[in-house]
Amino acid sequence: MTRGTIVITGASSGLGEEMARQFAALGYGLGLCARRLDRLTALRDELTAAHPGIQVRIAELDVTDDDAVQAVFEAFRAQFGTLDRVIVNAGTGDGAPLGTGGQAANRRTATTNFLGALSQSEHALAVFRAQHRGHLVLVSSFAALRGMRRSMTTYAASKAGVAALAEGLRAERIPGVDVSLICPGYIRSEMNAAAAERTRFMVDTEPGVTAMVRAIEARKSVAYVPRWPWAPLAVLMKRLPLPVVRRLT
């Protein structure tokens, strides 16, 4: 018997991959989806070998394809019988300063991070409303707190949209449904590997994701993780003048 079932999008690498490992160790059944099916297959084999008592299902998924999101979530619900938690994690960090010819990268980031999250939330909540319970987890970013410069502008804006989406859903108070917003600070992953060595406060993937998993398990409404230094920095970032923010980012 498993502790429940969790769907994780963007599970083929980075934070999603490590969340899958840690939730598998806790005894959850997992529905893992991402664009790279070969990496999901390897992860499934790893997890079922390490934890023979759990079920791991996988599906290829591009979260910008709304019909595919609906089909994959409904297939996972049919396979498991119920979905207890959906973690909206898939995202990208591509970007360029606006007006410099990087429109394609910026549109890709905005579409994946925000419209993809909207699609995942739509279809997860359809399942949760039908079964009268569930836990929706939206992964945003510390960068969502303020506008960011240059190649981070669109990324920060898209993650701010995810944060607003989570707050609106919490305000709705859907019966039986919890909504959590997880805002990671700088956690080492495939997406930020190029900047890892020059980024302050960067933590390794495993302890960073452990903080995320702890907050998700506690069903926190909003969590900045790891708590140190990101929770106190979040308080400051909301109040600092923009010229100071510019020097820090």
DSSP 217: H
The half-sphere exposure of 192 on its side-chain side, counting CA atoms within 13 A, is: 22
Is the dihedral angle over the CA atoms 153, 118, 39, 54 positive or is it negative?
positive
Of the listed 28, 155, 186, 224, which one is catalytic?
Answer: 155
Task: Tell me the DSSP string of 28-49.
Answer: -EEEEEES-HHHHHHHHHHHHH
> At CA 222, angle to CA 219 and CA 224, rounded to 5?
110
Q: Can you tell me the distance from the alpha carbon of 230 to that of 141, in angstroms, rounded to the nearest whole number?
A: 11
DSSP 143: G
155 is catalytic: yes
Q: Can you tell me the distance from the alpha carbon of 20 to that of 32, in angstroms, rounded to the nearest whole number?
A: 8
Lookup: tokens for 156: 């920060």
What pairing do the DSSP bridges indicate for beta strands 85-88 and 5-9? parallel
Strand segments (E) across 56-194: 56-60, 85-88, 134-139, 177-184
Point out the residues that are catalytic: 155
